[in-house]
Structures are given as C-alpha cells and as structure tokens.
Chain A
Amino acid sequence: MNDGKKINRIDSIFKDYVDNKFDYLRMIMKMSNEEIIKDLMDSGLKGRGGAGFPTGNKWKLAAEQPSGEKFVVCNADEGEPGTFKDKEILLKVPHKVLTGMTACSKVTGAKRGYIYLRWEYKFMKDDLQKSVDEFNEVLKEMKIDFKIYIFLGAGAYVCGEESALFDSMEGMRGEPRNKPPFPTVSGFMGKPTVINNVETFATSTMILSFGGENYAKLGTDVSHGSKLFSISGDTSIPGIYELELGMTLHEFVEKFGDGDTKAVSVGGVSGALVPRKKFKDTIIGWEGVPTGGAMILFNSTRSIYRILHNYLDFFEEESCGQCTPCRIGCQQLKKGIEAVKKGEEDPSYLDTLANLSKVMNVSAKCGLGQSVMNPVLSAVNNFREELIY
C-alpha cells in the first residue's frame, strides 16, 4: 500500500548545537558561496512556507542576477489558519532566522534584509527588534555589509503571497502581481529578491551547520529532511512538533489523533481535507499531500459542512478581490453550499461548484484563489452527504 516512514521526532530547529548563538554565523561566513549553494542543493530543501520551491535554486537564481541592489525578505506573515510555528521560531530562535538571511545575503550580494512581520504578531515586535539590533551589531563588528529591518504588515492574509507582500512593503495595496517576472528577477522595489519563509531560513542555517548531505538522509527522495508541524484541532497533544518527512497520515493520526479522527486539514484551510479512508494512502510530503505545516484534526463530532463553510467564509473575505475567479468564485462557493444545504439548489449543484473550484484552480492569479479548490474538492468528493443533508 505505502512505504511511509514511522513517526520520527527531530530536534534541529529549536535546539542549539553550538555554545554561542553567533557561532552559526561565524561558521557560515567562512564558507564560500559555492559551498553554501551546494549544501542547500544537496539537502533537497524546499520552501517551508508551503509552495515548495527548492531553496538552493532560488538563492542561486538571485545570485546570478546582474549585481546591483538586491534584497532578502523573510516572510513572517504567518496567516494560514492552523499554523503557528513561525511565531515560535521568532520567539525562541530568532538568531537562526537572521543567520539564514545573512547566508542568503552573502550568496546574493543583498545589502538589506527585511522581516515582514504579520500585524497579529506585533506583540513580539519589540523583542524581535532587540534580537535584530543585537544581530546587526554583530554583523557590523564582523564587517559584514548587511543590515536587517522589521516591517510590520497590516493584517491581510493575501500579503503572505510574496508579490502582494512586496506591494504592501512598497506602501501600496497588497495585491499579487503577474508572474513572470518572479521575485528573484524583480521583487521588492523591482529588484532581485529572495523571499523565504521563516522556517526556511532557520532550516537553512541548520543545514549549513550539519552539511547538506547529512540533512538529506532524513525524509524521502522527494521530501527531504524534517519540518515543523503546527498541530491543532481534536487532539489531546496540540502544539508544534518537528517530524521527519515521509510518514503517512495514518501514522500521524495514530500519534496525534483522539481515536476518532474523521478528517485532517493538511496544510490549513488552503490544503486538502483528507478523509479517514485515505489516511493510510496519504504520505505527508511532496509525493502525497504537501503542507506548510498546519495540521488540523477533526473528529466525528465535527460537521464537514460547517468546516467548509467556515473556510469559504475566510476565503471570500481574505481574497484581495482583484481577480474574477477568486473574488466571485469564493462568494459563489459559499452561497452554493448554503443553497444546497437549504435545498434551494439540487444536490447536483455540488458538481457545478466542484467544477468552479477547478476553474479557480487553473485561472486565479495567485496561490490563494488556486488553492481554494483543495478543501472544496475533498469535501464534495468525500463528504457529499454531509453537504446535502
């Protein structure tokens, strides 16, 4: 059936393996740019925000851009419902993130780095600023021409989308841009920019200290390494866990479920809502269901209709509203499931809605509108009765 791995807890992110927190930085700055890129490539690290672009590749693409002004941006707009790992990283091990950003600046030649901190995390801004100031001081002492700044967002989910994030930083309304050009060519202020998730930068630091090949020993051929999972919902042990990639959802539920798990939202509201019957066949990773880390467990007391309705409520409000499929599609999906539930539309209207979500998936301008399909299709295909009766 599957060759999923057993649950295996790892502790690379939150544990320090050096005496002094700046030792990572000192060690990495001794590496050559080629060594850094090679380690990241060897590690097989893919972006931990959810989209999964190979990190080494991204840094290399930006490095290959003609010299001139470049930027490193850390995406700390952790807005996906059900994910809360980046907050913990920034609270507990900010130096790993800052070190990762500095490694990226070394490779790309960027002189400025920004942390785009979501508005809801402003409670930690002062503490984070202290860490950043301290780090900047060390950079100065080490004569490293790189400085990190914090930029506070204004609370829009869509600004977690990289190009909308740049718009927001540039003082504009946060709306995703047309791609190409991609950020490595034209990002913040139209300059080559590497934008990575908080966890990606922290993981990069650890990869560079362990060695890429060692890191790649963890996980599967497609999903290398370990990653943080934000676990919530119907579980007695919610929280943040670092797990080796490659386990099946069945393994996962055995460990974290309450014995009555009916479905798991893998990847938060924009991920698939995997039903119990598929737990054994579903590997958590790029070969199965990828995730940015949010794992929301639901037991049989939960109504899939109400879960989906809640998700769609979220999407219709958090869409930026610029593109047709996302703005109107989300409204139609929500209205549509309401109408079927009330009997105002025939149950077959669910198929129209499923088709609509597929059209949104291929035609929406950014990942937000494209991923609305995931929970909709899972619900329509696996929990049809719950949506009708």
Chain B
Amino acid sequence: MKKIINLTIDDQKIAVDEGTTILEAARKSGIKIPTLCYHEDLCIAGNCRICVVEQENMRSLPAACATPVSEGMVINTNSTKVRNARKFLVELLLSEHNADCTACVKNRHCELQTLAEQNHIREHTFIDLKDDKNYTIDKLSPAIIIDYSKCIRCQRCVRTCEEIQAISALSAAYKGKDMKITTFFEKPINTVVCSTCGQCVAHCPTGALTEHFYIDEVWDAINDPDKHVVVQTAPSVRVALGEEFGLKPGTIVTGKMVAALRRLGFDEVEDTDFTADLTVIEEGNELLRRLKAKLADKDESVKLPMVTTCSPAWVKYCEHAFSDLLGHLSTCKSPMSMFGALSKTYYAEKFKLDPAKIVSVAIMPCIAKKFESNRPEMRASGYKDTDYVLTTRELAIMIKQAGIDFNTLKDSSFDSLMGVASGAGLIFGNSGGVMEAALRCAYMIVVGKDIPFEDLSITPLHGSEGEIVEMSVKFTGTKPEWSFLEGVTVNVAHANMLSNAYKIMEEIKNGTSKYHFVEIMSCPGGCIGGAGQPLPTNKAKRTARKEAIYSGEKLIEIRKSQDNPEIVNIYDDYLGKPLEEKAHKLLHVPGFTPRKRY
C-alpha cells in the first residue's frame, strides 16, 4: 500500500498516492496545468518550466511535472506570479523561435502556438534573437526534415530517441546560448545512425521535426495524363485517418478513405493488406524452410531465430547496430515493397500497362517507409518499385486541399487484383500481428488444421505496448512431410520499440536466445503508433486504434492469408511457388546493407 498524501491545489483538497507529481495530482482533479517539454511517453525533463506553479511558503515556483507532492502542500496554479512567469517563458521561447506560423506544417497543431494563444501573447516583449542564430534546415533525408529555426530545445526528440528507440541519434550539444539539439558532429540526419523511425517527429511539439513531404510530387503524377497512378494503403491508416477529420480515435474509415482516394484522382486504389497476406505466405514458408534446414538437416549455417523485416526503421537500426547478425533477418520485403514490385510487374502485365508509366504511391502510417522506398534494393521491377510514400497526415492534407468533405463521403471499396485481404493482413497494423498471421498460416501448413484458438484469435500475442511478448507453440499431429516438427515446441516473441529490439538482439548475439521466430516493430504499439499517424500521439489513441484493428478483423470472413482468393490467383497465374522463381526475385531482398554504428 502506498502512503496517501493530502494536499490542496487551487483550494481543492486532494488525496493522492505518495510519489505522484503535482501535475498528475492536478490533472486527476480536473485542473489543467499547461506543459510543453512534458510528454506522457517520456521521462520527466522539467526544462521548459512552463508548468511552474506557486507553492505556499516557497520563494521559487516549482515545476509541476517534476515535483512530487508532499503532505500539507498548498499549490496555486493560477496566481499572478504564476501567470506572469508563464507568459514571460512563452515569450522567451518565441524570441528564439521562427514563428512564421502560416507557412508552418504544424500551424494549428503546434503546442507552442497553443501556449501563445492560451497565455494571451499579443506583443513581442523581448528582442528577436533569431538573426544571431544561423539556423539551418536539414532537408537531405528522404524521411525526416529538421528545421532548426523552430526547435525550442525541449529535448522531447532526444528523450524519444534514447528511451523509446535506444539510439540517441539526436542529442543536446554546446551550452548556454549556443545549446542546440543536433546529430553526431552535426552531420545531416541521413548520414548518422538514425533509423528514420520518425518517433522524434511524432513527439516534437513544434514544426522543428517533420516528415519529408511528397504531396506536390504525387499531385503532379495524378495530374499527368501519361501516368497511371496506383495507390496502396497500409492496414493501420484506416483506423487513424478519421482523427484528422474530427472522428474519434479508432473509428474505422476504410470505405471513406477509398472514396477519398478515388476523388483525389488516383487511377487505382489497392490494399497493402493484400501484400501483407503475401508476406505471411512467404515469411511463413521461409520460417518453415529455416526450421527444416536447422532441425531436420542440421544445417548450422541457417540462422534462427528468424526476425521479421516489415518495419523499415527496425531493418535500418539492425544494419547499424547488429550488422553481424543480418543473417537472422527474413529476406522477405515489407508488404509495401512487395506491392511496389508487383505494381510494376504483375499489375502492369494484367492491365497491359507500360510499367515506365506507372507511378506507385503508398499511404503509410510510417516515416521510415520513405527511406525504404528509396533503398537501392527496392528496384526488383526494374524501376523504383514504390515511387512515393505519403504519411496518413499527408493524405489528410491532400483531402483537405482538394476540398473533400471526408465525413459525408459514401463508402467505396478497393479495386480488385490486389485489393482483397484476409483478416491476417489487417492485423499487421498491430504489434504482434505479423506473428499471429504467420502462425495461423504455418500451423495450417504443418498440421493441416487451424491453430487451436477461438476464432483464430491468438490472444496471448495481443500483449500491451512496450512489452516483449513471448509464446510457445507445440506442433502435434503434423503432416508426414513436416514430421520433424512433431512434438517440437516453437518459441516465438514479438516486441515493439527498438529499445526492446536491442534486448532481444543482445540475447541473440550472446547465444542465449531461446526463440525461433521474432517479430519486431519500431514504433510504440506497432504501425498504429507509427510516426506518420495523426498527432498528437498518446497511449489512449494508440489503444483505440489497436482495438479497432482487432475488432475490424472480426468482420472479415477470410482469416488466413492462404484462403485469400487473390493470393491463390497470384501464385497460380504469376508467381509460382512461395520462395521460388518470380516470388524470390520480386518479393525478397537480395541482401542487407551493413552500416556504421555512429
């Protein structure tokens, strides 16, 4: 039992557990203390000082986020002293900040702008400091753009990169007036250890960190009569896009999203969930092939556990941090890149289109996908497989640009050929989804029966955010060709956030890993918490999206990837057998790229 502490905030008597901060205690009582450097996903920094409050009998104003409550404490969150301090603090931040709000991507979504409004800032009390700062913009990365003129040095990005991803690509440098947030030796972000996951972007309160926008390029392609523009949408976009139009987090807007894409002028609207199903087949077969080689044929060169590669930030991180363990990575491309390759081969052939004239666009919850689409490995079709990647937020901007009233759109459905998906494809949006989908598929191949879970829902894998979730599957009653798996217990695990990936990989490196198969997603909660999703990011929103994915799956009749008729067709008509011939050429990467650790 924790000790109960009694205190008074704004004349309200409050009792909370010992260790609670003033900020938490206030929020519990419905008292809103403004914050800026605080983020619920991150540790307390207490550096912006916006949340200062007045404490009775104390000279200085403690920061509410960083100060634990104490017995008998009397707090005033709205005294003249507090208001004056807060106003000055916001004005100080503005004096260092490029407040060209109308030309800023974060206009109306910027936390500093909101504070300026709430604190009734109507003049510039202080001298403009921007001219002395030599601010620059780093635009070299295809994924992340850093506009140093908008940075307020709250270090949310620094804490994100360190705590969530265990990378520390961004950190504080210099001191005093020169203190800034930057990369190793101030190199461009595309040349350092950055995984491009973009969680820094998702946690940045201002427009200092943003994705690299490709909206104009996509409009140009749509408006070019010579181009055939095909678009794919990732599973987790449909449970988040609605937030940009005022709908509750977790609202499923698949039909409206497809309708909006058609209205925008895309020639064909297909579904990444389809290639997620394809990934399941390829990856499931790859796992079984590795298990056979290792367990039955005793081939020691085969690496286990096999680790998924759907998350591009994870792949890049692994190339940097564990470049000697790349043999553990599945050679399967991500669903997006499988789609990209097929859009300029299978799709072009079926519709008799010149692949040179096809522009393949992907709507993703992700910023790292922008990096992935630009990888030299992703040109199996002979062209750039995926031309442009847009985030969920960019799609929302395009819909608003086009003047589409999203909420009144009539539902539309995906086009065929690569537009049908099983529930297994949809759950890729959640951390653990790839694992669940692959187990359903592999179990059926090995045993010839459905994996014994009610409704095929492997709930032990659903886990919660930030956990390493483990599970064991025992194969009994195997088909003759899989008899080497009879009675074998296969250990699997999945985790999100690269800080967890680090733990799993360290075990693999030390030879203490007990797993056969591991799924890793870079972002909190998986793709539903991707850095390209509507902002702000927080656990409540991510949970709502996660539940929407699982409940959405229940509505889909086909639950296993191999039962998807379009999947059956593509193997029969075009790819041949999993892992072989065309499938091998188009759906697998030739290899990975070892990278430096700094």
| Residues of A near any B CB (own CB < 8 A) | 156, 158, 173, 175, 178, 180, 315-325, 327-332, 335-336, 339, 345, 352, 355-356, 359, 361-365, 370
Contact = CB atoms under 8 A, between A and B. Distances in A.
A332 B59 contact: no
B49 A324 contact: yes
Interface in B167-211: 171-172, 174-179
Contacts of B46: 178, 323, 365
A363 B172 contact: no
Contacts, number: 113
Nearest to A327: B179
Given A319-B175, A339-B127, A359-B85, A178 B63 contact: yes
A362 B92 contact: no
Contact of A322 (B52, B61, B126, B153): B153
Contacts of B61: 362-363
B129 A332 contact: yes
Contact of B89 (A158, A315, A324, A336): A324
Given A320-B179, A322-B155, A365-B47, A328 B84 contact: no
Nearest to A316: B177
B475 to A, nearest CB: 47
A245 B52 CA distance: 36
Contact of A363 (B44, B89, B95, B175): B89
Contact of B48 (A324, A339, A359): A324
A327 B177 contact: yes
B125 A352 contact: yes
Given A355-B88, A363-B61, A370-B60, 13 more contacts: A158-B175, A319-B175, A319-B176, A319-B179, A320-B179, A323-B46, A328-B129, A329-B92, A331-B129, A359-B84, A363-B52, A364-B49, A365-B49
B265 to A, nearest CB: 46
A316 B46 CA distance: 20
Interface of B: 44-50, 52, 59-61, 63, 66-68, 81, 84-85, 88-89, 92-93, 95-96, 125-127, 129, 152-153, 155, 171-172, 174-179
16 contacts: A158-B175, A317-B178, A321-B175, A321-B179, A322-B45, A322-B172, A324-B47, A324-B48, A324-B49, A324-B152, A325-B89, A328-B129, A329-B92, A332-B92, A352-B125, A365-B63
A370 B125 CA distance: 21
B49 to A, nearest CB: 5
B125 A325 contact: no
A355 B92 CA distance: 13
A57 B304 CA distance: 59
A339 to B, nearest CB: 6
B52 to A, nearest CB: 5
Nearest to A334: B177
B92 A317 contact: no
A329 B93 CA distance: 10
B94 to A, nearest CB: 9
B195 to A, nearest CB: 22
B47 A323 contact: yes
A323 B176 contact: no
A321 B153 contact: yes
Contact of A180 (B67, B85, B175): B67
B68 A318 contact: no
B49 A317 contact: no
A16 B127 CA distance: 55
A11 B251 CA distance: 78
Contacts of A329: 92
A246 to B, nearest CB: 24
Contacts of B84: 355, 359
List the 10 shortest-distance A-B pairs measured between CB atoms, nearest first. A321-B179, A178-B66, A328-B92, A319-B176, A322-B47, A317-B176, A178-B46, A359-B88, A316-B177, A335-B127
Contacts of A328: 92-93, 95-96, 126, 129
B129 A321 contact: no
Residue of B49, B66, B81, B95 most packed against chain A (CB within 10 A): B49
Nearest to A156: B175
B60 A332 contact: no
A159 B45 CA distance: 18
Contacts of B59: 362
B168 to A, nearest CB: 11
Given A332-B129, A362-B60, A363-B85, A325 B177 contact: no
Contacts of A332: 92, 95, 126-127, 129
Contacts of B175: 156, 158, 317-321
A319 B127 contact: no
